[in-house]
Structure 1
Amino acid sequence: MHAFAAHLARAWPLAKRDVMARYRGSVAGVLWTLAGPLAMVGIYSAVFQGVFKARWAGTGGDGVDFALRVFAGLVVFSAVAEVATRATRLVQDNANLVKRVVFPLELLCVALVMQVGVHVAIQLLVLGALQAVWGGGLGPSAIWLLLAVPWLVVLMLALALGLSALGCYLRDLQHLVPLAMSGLLFLSPVFFPQSAAPPVLKAVLAINPLSGPIEAFRTAFFGQPFDWESAGWSLGGALLALVVARALFARLRPGFADLV
């Protein structure tokens, strides 16, 4: 536990530096982290409800209910997409640390997850406030955040370790991953509950690593039913992916300095 805390303490200055650099000179500062998800919620809600007359399956909720549930899905998806996209160039973008400094490079991945985690925390606070004001409030199901948040962290860290290591060797990943994430947006339960998907799409959602965390966050905020048996397999897969990604990072790390 002490070693884990020491790792976090060493990674936080890197994460803090990147957060400050990202919003330096900006009038709104870190509040810009809300602009993207909220704009997407507004656009997609207008399209799905105004054009397709969509309603959230299994609830009698209004437009606000639909928008809040979409927002919950977008918080998770946006965090994972940002980590995956930035991880493909993480080693190259920190060449000075790779070449000149004796530094535990896996902390770059931890710092990336921590930086994105700051954005996630702000977005979840806003979601909680909106749910408290317009969505009927938070109930006892909020306790499931104790599972949903670590689950998301495990998934992001696995992606950061795996894609940063592979991205150093396979430069095409920096172009392929954003395209893949764009397609994955509509193959994840962001705009609909997993239970309402047609059979063919349900098979895809069952193996989609984003499905579990998205549904877990919705369970925490809205108290919706959740298939915990399927979640067990998904969470186990995320933990296994983290172990494999860490081993891959360690295996490929000796060649980083020669490639950046």
Structure 2
Amino acid sequence: MIRFKSIWLYRDFILGSVKRDFQAKFQNSILGIFWTLLNPLAMILVYTVVFSQLMKARMPDAPGPYSYSIYLCMGILSWGLFSEVFNRSITLFLDNANLLKKIKLPKISFPIILVFNAWINFLIIFSLFVVFLILSKNFPGKIFLAVIPILLIISLFAIALGIGLGILNVFYRDIGQISGVFLQFWFWLTPIVYSIDILPPKLQVVLQLNPMVPLIAGLQRIVMVRQLPLWESLLYPLALAIVLSWWAMYLLNKHQNDMMDEL
């Protein structure tokens, strides 16, 4: 089980690792922090150019001329948080194999470091999105605080699923390859670039099985119609995240010794 005392005892290692990882990311880089912004900005630009005219007519509740860009930004940025945590979790133990073998550390500290780093990257570009909302007079007001619990659920879901698969990836390396392909399909099965309303009703029902759908929809609802998310719709992804967290911790406790032999 998670030993919170051990996490507290190694807090200096965790915080130091977060700082080192952030510094190493931009070391010897001329553009520095700009690289954190480049990928999501490029995606937003491409999808806006390709889909903006199509989607404008299908967003009757749009707040203004930047409606599709706002819709797209919220979806892509939150998906970026999810995908970064998930992707890095898959190879987390393989990437830190040498450190895990040399130093006796609570293994749960590595997912914590990963999530902290992902949130730092996310907050850098998300803060620019908030500035854009304010300057374009599309900031929804105090209900914007409702994005916090949704983003926390996304993070918990991503790290729980990623760590569970990451442990299995130590023993079966194909999982790391398959997960990348799977994530591409998952992106397009989540209404980020398009609105779920344009799909046939039967397909809309099927997509509700995707736990990312109510999470992304809740975030987009906050910025698009300036209303609180439908909290009851978030119970499914929250429950799934909790179950996956238990599964990941079960695998970690059961196989942590075997993992050392495979790393």
By the TM > 0.5 criterion, same fold? yes
Identity of aligned residues (%): 22
Determine which of 182, 185, 193 is the counterpart of 1:183: 185
Does 1:211 pair with 2:213? yes
Determine which of 120, 123, 127 is the counterpart of 2:122: 120
Kindly provide the amino acid, as one letter, of the partner of residue 193 in structure 2: F
C-alpha distance 2-255 of structure 1, shift in aligned 2 (>3 A): closer
Shift of 1:30: 2.1
Does 1:259 pair with 2:262? yes
Determine which of 26, 31, 37 is the counterpart of 2:29: 26
Does 1:69 pair with 2:71? yes
Shift of 1:23: 1.6
Kindly provide the amino acid, as one letter, of the partner of residue 29 in structure 2: S
RMSD: 2.4
Note if contact 2:18-2:113 (Cα within 8 Å) is conserved in structure 1: yes
Shift of 1:224: 4.3
Shift of 1:111: 1.0
- Which aligned pairs between 1:1-40 and structure 2 lie closer than 5 A? 3=5, 9-40=12-43
Determine which of 54, 58, 61 is the counterpart of 1:59: 61
- Counterpart Cα distance in 2 of 1:89 and 1:147: 27
- Counterpart Cα distance in 1 of 2:223 and 2:192: 15
C-alpha distance 30-201 of structure 1, shift in aligned 2 (>3 A): farther
Where 1:207 maps in the other structure, the secondary structure is coil
Shift of 1:8: 5.5
- Counterpart Cα distance in 1 of 2:69 and 2:137: 10
Kindly provide the amino acid, as one letter, of the partner of residue 230 in structure 1: S
- Counterpart Cα distance in 1 of 2:138 and 2:85: 32
C-alpha distance 248-164 of structure 1, shift in aligned 2 (>3 A): same
Where 2:164 maps in the other structure, the secondary structure is helix
Note if contact 1:84-1:160 (Cα within 8 Å) is conserved in structure 2: yes
- Counterpart Cα distance in 1 of 2:200 and 2:12: 46
- Counterpart Cα distance in 1 of 2:116 and 2:133: 25
Shift of 1:205: 2.6
Deviations 1:120-144 (A, max 9, x none): 1112211111111115223131121
Deviates more, 1:152-161 or 1:101-110: 152-161
C-alpha distance 62-142 of structure 1, shift in aligned 2 (>3 A): closer
C-alpha distance 182-53 of structure 1, shift in aligned 2 (>3 A): same
- Which aligned pairs between 1:1-260 and structure 2 lie closer than 5 A? 3=5, 9-50=12-53, 52=54, 54-55=56-57, 57-62=59-64, 64-222=66-224, 223-224=226-227, 226-260=229-263
Unaligned runs of 5+ in 2: none
Kindly provide the amino acid, as one letter, of the partner of residue 102 in structure 1: K
Deviations 1:213-247 (A, max 9, x none): 32232234342463322222222222222222222
Structure 1 length normalisation: TM-score?
A: 0.89
Kindly provide the amino acid, as one letter, of the partner of residue 145 in structure 2: I
Where 1:27 maps in the other structure, the secondary structure is coil
- Counterpart Cα distance in 1 of 2:153 and 2:55: 33
Aligned length: 259
Shift of 1:9: 5.0
Kindly provide the amino acid, as one letter, of the partner of residue 136 in structure 1: N
Kindly provide the amino acid, as one letter, of the partner of residue 257 in structure 1: M
Note if contact 1:49-1:63 (Cα within 8 Å) is conserved in structure 2: no
- Counterpart Cα distance in 2 of 1:128 and 1:56: 24
Where 1:180 maps in the other structure, the secondary structure is helix
